[in-house]
Amino acid sequence: MEYRYLGGSGVKVSNICLGTMTFGRSEDVQRPGQCDEQLAHKILDRYKELGGNFIDTANVYAMGMSESIIGSWLAKHKREDFVLATKVRFSMDPKNENAGGLSRKNIMWSIEESLRRLKTSYIDLYQIHAWDPATPIEETMRAMNDLVKAGKVLYVGASNLKGWQMQKIMDLCEYKGFNKWISLQSQYSLLNRELEWELVECCMNEGLGILPWSPLKGGWLTGKITRNSAPQGSRVAYAQARPENVSESHPNHSNFANEEKIWNLLDTVQGIAQTEGKTMCQVAIRWLLQKDGVCSVIIGVKTLEQLEENMGASSGWKLSTEQMAKLDEASAVALPYPYNMLSRTSANRHRDTWTH
């Protein structure tokens, strides 16, 4: 396992982070592939054996069950051996109007609930799960800063933000003297590169570590999905049968099936995998690990076999410059304005320097 610094902090994390949205089965969580506590603990055991030390969850994952499962496992291990991340934002009680959002009231209640479920006295990385337009961001940031001062949170991060939102947070940290936020968790993969339009530059300039989630785009980059169908029991097949439940973590089959570019990209990934003696999953994750600003890639698994395969992307090999360029080209996204114009300006900068 390789280890990298978590953003601008001095904390080292394994470059593969174990995401735990799949932990916990309940009537409220009907997605396929959810792990019960026994299987989740086996996955956590093996992740630890392989050198993993970075675990990511959220209070809303299986409505608290994911945190509880991690807490029961963590109670049997040395807490200091792990970097534990969780999140706050979405409602945990539909009957309580204040049990969601990023108000001071909800943050202070949510941290205590997460600490109780996780059976720990502190969270290493506490993240806002998304922007809350109803709450002034300074209120949110002051509450998070107070948690750091109280020792209940060591570092603060964000997830699923726009470029201007992340930059505003970093500017307020400096202006108000708040503890600097250290990371941005965002969807990023060969099938979702829009993060590169603005957020990557923001993170690089501000010293934020990038934590990609859904690196395999709900199974699309595993090689198991064909032009005609998705495997039974997969999230893609589940979404296909229930269009109302489609999400970023499990897009349905029709989202991509009619796009020839997608199949050409998958052929490219498969070709490189065969050349390197790796799997398509490993190539897709390795591509992310070699992108600017990425400190750890968040994987989600439902079997020990998937864990073993995904962890094989961590160390011992690299994609060549030529292979990275080939994947970049095959997965390129058409730039909208103003990014298309600015990219041409940037490309001509050196020439303009010499001609004017």
Catalytically active residues, by annotation: 61
What's the rounded Cα separation, in Å, for the pair 324 and 167? 29
Phi-psi region of 73 (alpha: psi -120 to 50; beta: other; left: phi over 0): alpha
Q: Is the peptide bond before 338 cis (omega within 30 degrees of 0)?
A: yes
Q: How far is CA 14 from CA 176, 241, 250, 296, in A?
A: 32, 36, 25, 7
Rounded distance, CA 317 to CA 81, Å? 26
Q: Which stretches does DSSP call E strand in the chain?
A: 3-5, 12-14, 16-19, 54-56, 83-88, 123-128, 153-159, 183-187, 209-213, 297-300
Q: Which helix (H) or strand (E) holds 355?
A: helix 349-355
**What is the torsion angle, in degrees rounded to the nearest 10, for the CA atoms of residue 230, residue 234, residue 239 and residue 245?**
-170
- Give the Cα separation of 141 and 147 in Å (integer): 10
Rg of the Cα atoms in the chain = 20
Nearest residue to 223 (alpha-carbon basis) of 281, 308, 278: 281
**To the nearest 10°, the Cα dihedral for 231, 232, 236, 239?**
160
Q: Which of 200, 161, 194 is nearest to 293 (CA)?
A: 200
CA 123/CA 266 separation, integer angstroms:
38
Q: What single string gives the DSSP state of each residue in 123-153?
A: EEEEEESS--TTS-HHHHHHHHHHHHHTTSE
